[in-house]
């Protein structure tokens, strides 16, 4: 009700162009797709969203399987920075699941069962998204957020009928930066702000410092370092040997730096699957022992590992599929682009160290917005300890204490899905036994959580 006058203004702006926009959207409609004998009952669209005259972000939009006319719109962003949201679409929670033989099966736990889902490849230079040579010279967190906001506005120009349904933003990994910086711009935008409902982020990088601080403790708690090594860490990184006063990010001395670098290096390049501690590493140990990349000043950088295929990740099937000329034609993308899971040559500069201010801003501007942060508890890339530390540090009033949450398993038994605690308009929860890509590892639990979020239960 607060935004009723703005809604009238938005309708007046969009209605005069709706006929022309509809023709553009129809041009993006998918009418056939290699790997599918027949299209699903819901409509799918793929094409480009024009951010500027030279910047174009590729999107794949799938209508809700329930009631697309009223169900909310949810934007999904994969992380990196530089990795494609087609992974989220084809390997996590999209309605289509790409099999190793290039056939496609339907995902019974797809998130578009109750939502209209937009999967967008961002920033420019990722997947089929593109920009001019000048555009590609420098890409950073703020520019990406602005481009993603403008791409969303371009989406609603193509599909104005969905603007009233409510807008959520979601993502995982480096989307822990993408999403908060984007929603902070959404709530300041006259067109989008009245429709913004909230955000949900999985295994996000919310704070560089908390993520690195917590991986040292995660390694200790999961048996990746022994008590002797832990004792050296305490002696060299903690004030007077006090475990509550340790600094694993702004190293107090060179010995501490060396110890922490060794622990971080082990999680990323020893042959462990950094995205799921208990999973086998695709490609084996020998391939990944060569990926010893520690960033400048000894701090780990996502830029150093998300190239083509991240460590222990097999992206061959996705690459083969999206580089099939027939697939490119079917989804209306530039046929000259060679698709990769993660961009090899993205000139991305990370400028945001902590996203607290962006989440606070979004919640302060839109008083009924909600944010949920979830984490698979065996992910090491963006581990659950760092996520919980970040959620607590936001300083929001605690509404409900830490407790188990349940889901109904495939055999109809009720099981524990993980643990949850709720703050004022912010939820923190874990997913038991899941890694970095929660919907891949635990699809039923992930859908249960997502549906609860849409319904306002978390």
> What confidence score (pLDDT) does residue 241 get?
87
Q: 130-167, pLDDT tens digit by residue?
A: 999 999 998 999 999 999 999 999 999 999 999 999 99
Per-residue burial over 30-53, b if 16 or more Cβ lie within 10 Å, else e, is beebbbeeeebebebbbbbbbbee
- DSSP element (H, E) containing 422: strand 414-423
Instruction: Tell me the mean pLDDT in the region 218-241.
Output: 95
CA pair distance 427, 454, nearest whole angstrom: 13
Q: 196-226, pLDDT tens digit by residue?
A: 999 999 999 999 999 999 999 999 999 999 9
- pTM, 2 dp: 0.90
Q: What percent of the chain has pLDDT over 70?
A: 90
> What confidence score (pLDDT) does residue 308 get?
55
- Residue 286 pLDDT class (50, 70, 90 cuts): low
> What confidence score (pLDDT) does residue 309 get?
66
Full set of structural domains in the chain with CATH: 4-206+351-454 (3.40.50.1820), 208-304 (3.40.50.1820)
Contact 123, 83 (CB under 8 A): no
Residue of 71, 150, 379, 441 marked active site:
379
| Residue indicated by tokens 């990740």 | 313
173 is catalytic: yes
DSSP 246: B
| Residue indicated by tokens 């899941």 | 434
> What confidence score (pLDDT) does residue 20 get?
36
Residue of 84, 173, 207, 219 marked active site:
173
């Amino acid at each position: 009700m607060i935004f009723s006058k703005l809604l009238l203004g938005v309708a007046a702006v969009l209605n005069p162009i709706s006929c022309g926009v509809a023709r553009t959207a129809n041009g993006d409609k998918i009418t056939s797709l290699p790997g599918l004998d027949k299209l699903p009952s819901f409509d799918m669209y793929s094409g480009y969203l024009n951010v500027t005259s030279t910047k174009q972000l590729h999107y794949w939009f799938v209508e809700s399987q329930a009631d697309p006319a009223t169900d909310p719109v949810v934007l999904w962003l994969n992380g990196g920075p530089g990795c494609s949201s087609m992974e989220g679409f084809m390997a996590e929670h999209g309605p289509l699941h790409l099999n190793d033989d290039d056939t496609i099966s339907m995902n019974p736990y797809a998130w578009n069962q109750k939502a209209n889902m937009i999967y967008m490849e961002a920033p420019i230079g990722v997947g089929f998204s593109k920009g001019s040579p000048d555009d590609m010279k420098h890409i950073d967190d703020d520019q990406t957020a602005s481009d993603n906001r403008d791409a969303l506005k371009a989406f609603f120009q193509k599909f104005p009928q969905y603007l009233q349904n409510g807008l959520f933003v979601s993502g995982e990994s480096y989307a822990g930066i993408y999403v908060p910086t984007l929603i902070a711009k959404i709530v300041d935008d006259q067109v989008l702000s009245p429709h913004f409902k909230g955000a949900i982020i999985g295994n996000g990088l919310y704070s560089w410092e908390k993520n690195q601080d917590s991986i040292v403790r995660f390694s200790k708690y999961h048996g990746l370092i022994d008590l002797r090594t832990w004792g050296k860490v305490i002696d060299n990184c903690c004030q007077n040997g006090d475990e509550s006063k340790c600094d694993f990010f702004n190293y107090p001395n060179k010995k501490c730096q060396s110890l922490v670098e060794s622990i971080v290096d082990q999680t990323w390049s020893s042959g462990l699957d950094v995205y799921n501690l208990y999973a086998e590493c695709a490609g084996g140990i020998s391939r990944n022992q060569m990926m010893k990349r520690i960033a400048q000043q000894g701090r780990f950088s996502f830029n150093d590992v998300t190239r083509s295929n991240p460590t222990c990740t097999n992206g061959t099937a996705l690459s083969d599929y999206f580089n099939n000329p027939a697939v490119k034609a079917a989804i209306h993308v530039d046929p000259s682009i060679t698709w990769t899971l993660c961009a090899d040559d993205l000139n991305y500069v990370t400028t945001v160290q902590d996203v607290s201010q962006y989440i606070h801003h979004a919640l302060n501007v839109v008083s009924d917005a909600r944010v949920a942060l979830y984490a698979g508890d065996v992910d090491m890339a963006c581990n659950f300890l760092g996520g919980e530390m970040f959620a607590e540090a936001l300083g929001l009033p605690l509404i409900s204490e830490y407790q188990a949450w349940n889901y109904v398993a495939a055999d109809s038994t009720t099981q524990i899905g993980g643990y949850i605690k709720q703050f004022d308009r912010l939820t923190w929860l874990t997913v038991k036994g899941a890694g970095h890509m929660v919907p891949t590892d635990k699809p039923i639990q992930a859908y249960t959580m997502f549906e609860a979020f849409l319904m306002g239960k978390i």
